């Protein structure tokens, strides 16, 4: 155990090594570590943010789906209502049309009946005239007895 | 083992515990332990060179295995310093702690080299006396402890000012009463003397004792077959246990450095 100059030389070496570490070893590595910590922290934050956004988006999409369903239900109900209306309208229109056709047909039938009756009356009158002519022979002049024939015809 | 001379236990021990010296002046103080200096500087250059190379290529992305290892060591130190020192530790204290830990650890680890094989290797290089472990030289541990001690005083003055430091020396720990001043001064004097002594001698004693035990085991191994067998077993056991001591002493030395430096930063 003898203290000598070695002590001073070792102290100098120690000083140099401390200086070297303080200057060249510690700061770059600390920088690298801190940068990595920052990157990791940012990554974690981004992940958290992403998760939150995903949650929000899923809420939004659920809302959208619900809204769309409601709208679809509305539209279907509306369409059903409209369909019922159309059917109702069609029924009414058909009824009107039917009754109008019926009225027209009745009028035509009446007309036909009237015309048939007229024709029949004419025929009967002609027939009666022919009969009377056959019975009376020459005594009857269609022209001279036109008034009489017309009155008979109207009585038929 | 010593060549040429007759081998006795004393000469064996002497041979292993003698430094290679070089005289720089008349006075015995100017003796230089060449082996201590060369080994410590060589280890320092290797270690800090390695750290420097790794750190220079350090990426903040995914680290490689080497970088991860260095980061592990550095963050371990940083955690220790963080729990003790409350200030800007990155400016000086943490890197200084890293220096102390890594360097002392490397120097201590030299204790695990097989002494007699290393002696043969040094003999081949023409070095008759060459001690591998710089921390078994009290000059090394005193140099480190005194450097820390000077840093302690430097930071005391820097943080508290010269007046503040003297005030602390005079008025703590017992009180401001002038009657207590001599007691305070005496107490602080003892503290300031004991700090570097205990700091350096703890490391020196542990590592030196470890080396002595290796030497004793080596001597026993030379006594015969039984000695060789037991010497081998004991040597292996002691070496394994010594891994713990080597690391622990480096850690304790570093922690004391950090504690002393942070005490210098805190005013009472």
pLDDT at B1: 40
Task: For residue A16, give Cα distances in angstroms to A43, B3, B88, B254.
Answer: 40, 38, 21, 17
Partners of residue A8 in chain B, C-beta under 8 Å: 143
pTM to 2 decimal places: 0.75
Q: What average pLDDT does the segment A105-126 reach? A: 90
**Helices A5-20 and B93-109, packing angle to 10 deg:** 130
Number of Cβ within a 10 Å radius of residue A139: 10
SS3 B171: helix
Task: For residue B95, give Cα distances in angstroms to A104, B80, B108, B191, B213.
Answer: 117, 12, 20, 26, 34
Of A8, A10, A39, the CB nearest to B60: A39
CB contact under 8 Å between A27 and B139, yes or no, is no
pLDDT of A146 above 80: no
Q: Which residues contact A36 (CB under 8 A, 6 or more apart)?
A: B60, B61, B63
pLDDT of B112 above 60: yes
SS3 B24: coil
Q: What average pLDDT does the segment B16-27 reach? A: 82
pLDDT at A141: 65
Q: What is the mean pLDDT of chain A?
A: 89
Residue B34 tokens, joined:
């060449």
Task: For residue B120, give Cα distances in angstroms to A127, B2, B116.
Answer: 171, 9, 6
CA dist., res. B195 & res. B139, Å (int) = 16
pLDDT tens figures, B120-131: 898 898 888 888
pLDDT tier, B3 (very low <50, low <70, confident <90, very high otherwise): very low
pLDDT at B24: 81
Q: What average pLDDT does the segment A75-93 reach? A: 95
Tracing tokens 């209306």 back to the chain, one arrives at A85
pLDDT at B2: 40
Q: What average pLDDT does the segment B172-194 reach? A: 89
CB contact under 8 Å between A10 and B58, yes or no, is no
The 8-class DSSP code of residue A69 comes to H
- In B122-143, which positions are buried (b, 16+ CB within 10 angstroms) versus exposed (e)? beeeeeebbbbbbbbbbbbbbb
Nearest alpha carbon to residue B260 among B128, B129, B149, B160: B149
B198 annotated active-site: yes
Q: What is the mean pLDDT of chain B?
A: 89
Partners of residue B40 in chain A, C-beta under 8 Å: 10, 13
Share of chain B above pLDDT 90, in %: 49
pLDDT at B222: 82
User: pLDDT: is B12 or A60 the higher one?
Assistant: A60
Q: Are the beta carbons of B174 and A41 closer than 8 angstroms?
A: no
Q: What average pLDDT does the segment A121-148 reach? A: 76
Q: Which residues contact A100 (CB under 8 A, 6 or more apart)?
A: none
CB contact under 8 Å between B31 and A6, yes or no, is yes
pLDDT of B4 above 70: no
Catalytic pick among B108, B132, B206, B262 = B206
pLDDT at A139: 61
Search chain B and give the residue with CA nearest A19: B96
Share of chain B above pLDDT 70, in %: 97
Domain residue limits, chain B: 20-265
Search chain A and give the residue with CA nearest B17: A1
End-to-end CA distance of chain A: 173
Partners of residue B52 in chain A, C-beta under 8 Å: 20, 24-25
Least confident window among A15-24, A132-141, B14-23: A132-141
CA dist., res. B157 & res. A2, Å (int) = 31
Q: Are the beta carbons of B70 and B101 closer than 8 angstroms?
A: no
Of A1, A15, A29, the CB nearest to B70: A29
pLDDT at A12: 93
Q: Which of residues 36-95 of A touch B (CB under 8 A)?
A: 36, 39
pLDDT of A1 above 60: no
Tracing tokens 């019922």 back to the chain, one arrives at A84
pLDDT tens figures, A17-67: 999 999 999 998 888 888 999 999 999 999 999 999 999 999 999 999 999
pLDDT tens figures, B204-256: 999 999 999 998 988 888 888 888 899 889 999 999 999 999 999 999 999 99
pLDDT of A142 above 70: no
The 8-class DSSP code of residue A102 comes to H
pLDDT tier, A154 (very low <50, low <70, confident <90, very high otherwise): confident
pLDDT tens figures, A55-73: 999 999 999 999 999 999 9
Partners of residue A10 in chain B, C-beta under 8 Å: 36-37, 40, 134, 139-140, 143-144
B202 annotated active-site: yes
Nearest alpha carbon to residue B140 among B253, B260, B9, B22: B253
Task: For chain B, say whether A29 makes contact (Cβ under 8 Å).
Answer: yes
Of B44, B60, B91, the CB nearest to A32: B60
Does the structure's ipTM exceed the value 0.90?
no
The 8-class DSSP code of residue B222 comes to T
Q: Are the beta carbons of B77 and B94 closer than 8 angstroms?
A: yes
> In a mutagenesis test of the B interface, which of A1, A4, A32 is the best target, namely the one with the most B β-carbons within 10 Å?
A4
């Amino acid at each position: 155990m003898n203290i000598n100059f070695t002590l001073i030389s070792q102290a100098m070496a120690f000083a140099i090594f401390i200086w070297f570490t303080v200057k060249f070893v510690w700061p770059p590595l600390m920088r690298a570590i801190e940068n990595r910590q920052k990157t990791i922290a940012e990554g974690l934050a981004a992940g958290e943010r992403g998760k939150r956004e995903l949650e929000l988006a899923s809420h939004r999409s659920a809302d959208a789906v619900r809204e769309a369903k409601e709208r679809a239900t509305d539209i279907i109900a509306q369409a059903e209502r409209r369909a019922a209306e159309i059917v109702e309208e069609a029924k009414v229109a058909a009824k009107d049309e039917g009754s109008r056709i019926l009225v027209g047909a009745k009028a035509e039938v009446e007309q036909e009946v009237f015309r048939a009756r007229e024709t029949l009356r004419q025929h009967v009158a002609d027939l009666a005239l022919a009969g009377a002519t056959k019975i009376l022979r020459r005594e009857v002049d269609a022209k001279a007895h036109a008034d009489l024939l017309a009155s008979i015809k109207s009585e038929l | 083992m010593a060549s040429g001379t007759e081998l006795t236990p004393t000469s064996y021990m002497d041979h292993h515990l003698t430094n290679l010296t070089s005289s720089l002046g008349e006075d015995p103080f100017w003796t230089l332990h060449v082996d201590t200096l060369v080994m410590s500087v060589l280890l320092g250059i290797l270690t800090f060179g390695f750290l420097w190379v790794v750190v220079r290529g350090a990426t903040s992305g995914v680290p490689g295995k080497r970088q991860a290892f260095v980061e592990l060591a550095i963050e371990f130190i940083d955690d220790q310093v963080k729990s003790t020192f409350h200030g800007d530790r990155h400016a000086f204290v943490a890197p200084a702690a890293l220096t102390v830990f890594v360097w002392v650890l490397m120097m201590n680890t030299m204790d695990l080299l097989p002494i007699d094989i290393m002696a043969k290797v040094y003999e081949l290089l023409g070095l008759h006396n060459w001690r591998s472990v710089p921390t078994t030289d009290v000059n090394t541990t005193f140099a480190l402890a005194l450097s820390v001690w000077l840093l302690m005083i430097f930071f005391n003055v820097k943080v508290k000012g010269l007046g503040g430091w003297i005030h602390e020396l005079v008025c703590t720990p017992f009180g401001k009463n002038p009657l207590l001043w001599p007691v305070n001064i005496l107490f602080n004097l003892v503290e300031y003397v004991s700090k570097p002594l205990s700091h350096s001698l703890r490391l020196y004693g542990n590592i030196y004792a470890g080396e002595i035990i290796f030497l004793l085991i080596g001597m026993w191994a030379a006594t015969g077959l039984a000695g060789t067998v037991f010497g081998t077993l004991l040597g292996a056991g002691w070496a394994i246990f010594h891994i713990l001591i080597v690391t622990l002493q480096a850690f304790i030395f570093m922690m004391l450095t950090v504690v002393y430096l942070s005490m210098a930063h805190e005013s009472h």
